Amino acid sequence: MRFLSNPSSGKMGYALAGACRDRGARVTLVSGPTALKRPEGVEFVAVESARDMLRAARRGFGSCRVFIASAAVSDFRPAVRHAQKVKKSGAEETLTLLPNPDILAELSRRKGGRLLVGFAAETQGLLANAAAKMRSKRLDLMVANRVGRPGSGFGSDDNRATLLCTGRPARALPLLPKRELAETIVDEVERLLSGGAV
C-alpha cells in the first residue's frame, strides 16, 4: 500500500472555479494534487493534505462572500507517515488512522453573512444524509450525489446531483457534464445572493 485516497479528480471544483470566474467573481481555488491544468484568471493555492487545505481555507475565509466546499477530503490520515518505502517483511502490519479536520464544519462556525455551499458524496441514504450534513454545517446549499455508479461522480466528466436548499423541495438533476452542473450550481448561488438569503 502506498497511500489511502479516493478516486476524486478535482474536475468538479475546477469546473466551479471556472464558472464563478466567468460570472465575474474573484476566485481563489484551493486544490489538492491533481493532473488537471490550472485554470487561468483565478488565484491558485496548491495543498498536499487536509490540514494544509484547512489552513489555506482559513486564510481566505475572512474575505470571501461565498465559500464552495467541493473537495472530497479524506476523512482519515495515517497516524505515522514514512519518508521511505516500508519494505515487505511478511509480518502483519496494523495501520492506525486519525480523523482529519472537517474543514466545512469548522468554518461554518464562523459563517457570519457568508453563503456556504457543500457537497455530500454518499453511497446510501443520499437525501437523508445530505440534509443532516446541511443542517449541522449551517449550509445554504447542498449538492448531493451518490458515488459508486459508473459514468458519474469521482473521476468522471459527468455527475448526477440533487440540490438541497433550505425552504425549497429537493431538485434532482439529470446526468450532466461537470461544467454544466457547475453552471447550474452557480445559478442557484446567484439566486440566493440576489434574494437576500445571507
Query: Which amino acid is present at 50?
Result: A
pLDDT surpassing 60 at residue 190 = yes
144 or 9: which carries more pLDDT confidence?
144
**Which tens digit of pLDDT belongs to each residue from 165-188?**
988 899 999 999 999 999 999 999
Does residue 80 belong to any structural domain of this protein?
A: no
> If we measure between CA atoms, which residue out of 115, 119, 121 comes closest to residue 182?
119
**Which tens digit of pLDDT belongs to each residue from 143-164?**
998 876 655 556 678 889 999 9
Does residue 172 belong to any structural domain of this protein?
A: yes
What is the Cα–Cα distance from 96 to 110, expressed in whole angstroms? Answer: 31
Does residue 18 belong to any structural domain of this protein?
A: yes
Which CATH number fits the domain that encloses residue 183?
3.40.50.10300
The total number of structural domains that make up the chain: 1
Could you tell me the sign of the dihedral formed by the alpha carbons of 23, 25, 26, 30, in that order? negative
Does residue 88 belong to any structural domain of this protein?
A: no
pLDDT surpassing 90 at residue 116 = yes
Catalytic residues: 6
What is the Cα–Cα distance from 127 to 111, expressed in whole angstroms? Answer: 23
Does residue 160 belong to any structural domain of this protein?
A: yes
Residue 39 domain boundaries? 11-74+96-194
- Per-residue confidence band for 197, with pLDDT thresholds at 50, 70 and 90: very low
Does residue 79 belong to any structural domain of this protein?
A: no
Does residue 3 belong to any structural domain of this protein?
A: no
The share of the chain scoring above pLDDT 90, in percent, equals 61
What is the Cα–Cα distance from 11 to 149, expressed in whole angstroms? Answer: 17
Does residue 148 belong to any structural domain of this protein?
A: yes
pTM across the whole model: 0.86
